Amino acid sequence: MLRIHGVAAVRTAENSCVVLGCRRCLPPLPDGAEPRNPPDPVRWGRDAVPMTTTHFDYLIVGGGMVADTAARGIREIDADGSIGILSDDVDEPYTRPALSKKLWTDDEFTWDKVPLGTADDTGADVRLRTRATAIRPEAREVDADDQTFSYGKLLLATGGKPVPLPIDDHTDGARALSFRTAEDYRALRALAEDVDRIAVVGGGYIGSELAAALVQNGVDTVLIHTGSVLGDAVFPAGLAERFEKLFRDAGVEIVAGSKVAGGRADADGVQLQLENGDEVRADAVVSGLGIEVATELAEQAGLQVDDGVVVDAQLRASADDVYAAGDVANYPDRLLGRRRVEHVDNANEQGKAAGRNLAGAAEAYTHTPYYYSAVFGIRYEAVGTLDSSLETVEDWTDAEHGVVYYLDDDRVVGVLLWNVEDARDDARAVLAEADTLTRDDLVGRIR
C-alpha cells in the first residue's frame, strides 16, 4: 500500500495524491464542481493551501544530462516505478556539448540529434518550466510553483547557472548572453546570422569553443580572456601558444590579459570596459565565465553542502533517500579524492549510477571521469587535475599528438591526452599507480 504523509493513499491515473485525512493536498474536484477560493476552512483546515500533490516513486529535480541518465539507470533496475523530472528549462533533456561544438561545425549534426529522448525511452514524466522552490526531506516533499510533489527517492541534479557578465544590459538578454541552454544556443545562432561582430568573454573551454564556432561561421569574433596566452592556466606554455595560434590563424581577434569590469548593452550594440581602462565594442556579447553551482535548494533543506551537495560513495546526500549527482555533487572519487566535476562524462556515468542506486542497487560510484574539448579539428581529453602551475612532463610523438603529465610533489595528479585516441583507461591507470611511478616511467607510457 502506498503511504503518503504517513497515511494510506491511493494513486490516481495521473499519480495525484489522494490521501484520506491529508490536509495538505486537495484531491481532484468532482466533475462540474467549481474550485473555492479561499478554500473551505471547515473541509480543509485553516492553513489549507490550494495545492495539488503528485507522487512519484522517483523524483528528479533538474532536467539536464544527469536527469536523462538517472532515469535510464532507474529503468535498468525498476521497469515500473513512476519517474518525475522537474525542470525549469523549456526543452526536454538534451546534450549540452553539441551546443558549442557540432551544431556549429558539423553539417550532418542536425537539431534532431540534440534531445536525449528521456521521456520516450524511460516513460519519465518530464515537467518543463517547473522550478522546484523547496524541499522538505522529513515529509519527502518538493514544492514547485503551485504544486507539491511527494517522492519515494529524490535525486538533486540541478547543475549550475552561468556566472553573469557584470554589464548593464538594456536589451533583456537579446545582445548579452550567457551560454548554458539550448535556448541560449538558438539566441546566439540567430545573432550570428543577424550581426557582424560578436565578443566572447572567457578563455575556458566554453569561451574558446564559442569563439571557434563563431569565426568558422563567418562572424567577426573577438575573444577576451584573462590569461597571458589562451589556455595558459591549464596547458604548459609552449602548448598554450600553439593553442592560441589556432585561433589567431582562423581570424579571431584575441584580447589577452583582460578582465571585463563593466559595460553596457543596448539596441546599438555592446561596449565592454576592461579593467585596464580599454574598451571593446561589438554588436553582441556572449560569456563563458563558469557556473555558480545550484545548491540553494539543498542548503535550504538543511543538507550538507560544501562546494556542492556532499554525497557519499553511493551518491547519497545527508538526508534519507536523497541523492545528488552531476555538476552539483561533491563526491569521493576513488582515485582523485573528494571533488566536484563539471563535465559530461561524469554527468552521464554518475547520473546512471545514481539512478541505479535510487532503485536499490546500493553500488559505489567508482568511475573516475574524463573531460574533453574540441576546436579546429583538435580534440583533447583529460583525467585528473590540469594546472599549469604544477610541474609537467611532456611526451610528444609529433607536433600534433602527445601526452602531458601533471605532477604535484613528484606524484602524477593529472594526464592530458592531445589528439590521442582510446587512452583514457591508460591515463586512469597512471593515476591509480601514482604512488609508485617515477617521472622516468612516464615518457612512452601512453601512446
Ligand X SMILES: Cc1cc2nc3c(=O)[nH]c(=O)nc-3n(C[C@H](O)[C@H](O)[C@H](O)COP(=O)(O)OP(=O)(O)OC[C@H]3O[C@@H](n4cnc5c(N)ncnc54)[C@H](O)[C@@H]3O)c2cc1C
**Footprint of ligand X on residues 257-316 (CB under 6 A)?**
294, 297
CB distance 328 to 40 below 8 Å: no
| 316 DSSP assignment | B
Among 78, 88, 143, 169, binds ligand X (CB under 6 A): 88
Place of cell 573551454: 205
Distance separating the N- and C-terminal Cα atoms of the chain: 58
353-378 as b/e, with b when 16 or more CB fall inside 10 Å?
A: bbbbbbbebeeebebbbbbbbbbeee
CB distance 74 to 355 below 8 Å: yes
Tell me the closest approach of the beta carbon of residue 276 to ligand X, in angstroms.
29
Our finding on whether 143 is near ligand X (CB under 6 A) is no
Among 84, 137, 152, 159, binds ligand X (CB under 6 A): 159
Tell me the closest approach of the beta carbon of residue 47 to ligand X, in angstroms.
25
CB distance 36 to 26 below 8 Å: no
CB distance 385 to 336 below 8 Å: yes
**Footprint of ligand X on residues 32-51 (CB under 6 A)?**
none
Q: How far is CA 398 from CA 231, 391, 394, 426, in A?
A: 20, 21, 11, 19
Tell me the closest approach of the beta carbon of residue 381 to ligand X, in angstroms.
9
**Footprint of ligand X on residues 307-326 (CB under 6 A)?**
326
CB distance 97 to 185 below 8 Å: no
Residue closer to ligand X (CB basis): 155 or 437: 155
Among 16, 53, 54, 100, binds ligand X (CB under 6 A): 100
HSE, CB side, 13 Å, CA atoms: give it for residue 333: 23
Helices marked H in 288-392 — which ranges?
Answer: 296-300, 344-358
Tell me the closest approach of the beta carbon of residue 142 to ligand X, in angstroms.
9
Stretch that binds ligand X, among 24-32, 48-56, 250-258, 369-377 (CB under 6 A): 369-377
Euclidean distance between CA atoms 207 and 203, whole angstroms:
5
Our finding on whether 347 is near ligand X (CB under 6 A) is yes
CB distance 240 to 257 below 8 Å: no
Tell me the closest approach of the beta carbon of residue 233 to ligand X, in angstroms.
17
Euclidean distance between CA atoms 110 and 96, whole angstroms:
14
Tell me the closest approach of the beta carbon of residue 340 to ligand X, in angstroms.
10
Our finding on whether 145 is near ligand X (CB under 6 A) is no
Our finding on whether 327 is near ligand X (CB under 6 A) is yes
Tell me the closest approach of the beta carbon of residue 301 to ligand X, in angstroms.
12
Which residue has the CB atom at the shortest distance from ligand X? 64
Tell me the closest approach of the beta carbon of residue 117 to ligand X, in angstroms.
15
Task: Compose the 181-220 pattern: x for residues touching ligand X by CB under 6 A, - for all others.
Answer: -------------------------x--------------
Residue closer to ligand X (CB basis): 68 or 437: 68
Q: What is the spatial order of strands in the sheet that 168-169 belongs to?
A: 168-169, 260-266, 269-274, 279-282
Our finding on whether 125 is near ligand X (CB under 6 A) is no
Among 87, 178, 295, 357, binds ligand X (CB under 6 A): 87
Stretch that binds ligand X, among 26-34, 236-244, 279-287, 337-345 (CB under 6 A): 337-345
Stretch that binds ligand X, among 8-16, 21-29, 62-70, 311-319 (CB under 6 A): 62-70
Our finding on whether 61 is near ligand X (CB under 6 A) is yes
Instruction: For residue 414, count other CB atoms closer than 10 A to its CB.
Output: 22
Among 55, 96, 424, 428, binds ligand X (CB under 6 A): 96
HSE, CB side, 13 Å, CA atoms: give it for residue 396: 8
Phi/psi zone of residue 36: left (φ > 0), alpha (ψ -120 to 50 degrees), beta?
beta
- Binding positions for ligand X, rule: CB under 6 A: 61-66, 86-89, 96-97, 99-100, 131-132, 157-159, 179-180, 206, 294, 297, 326-328, 342-345, 347, 371-373
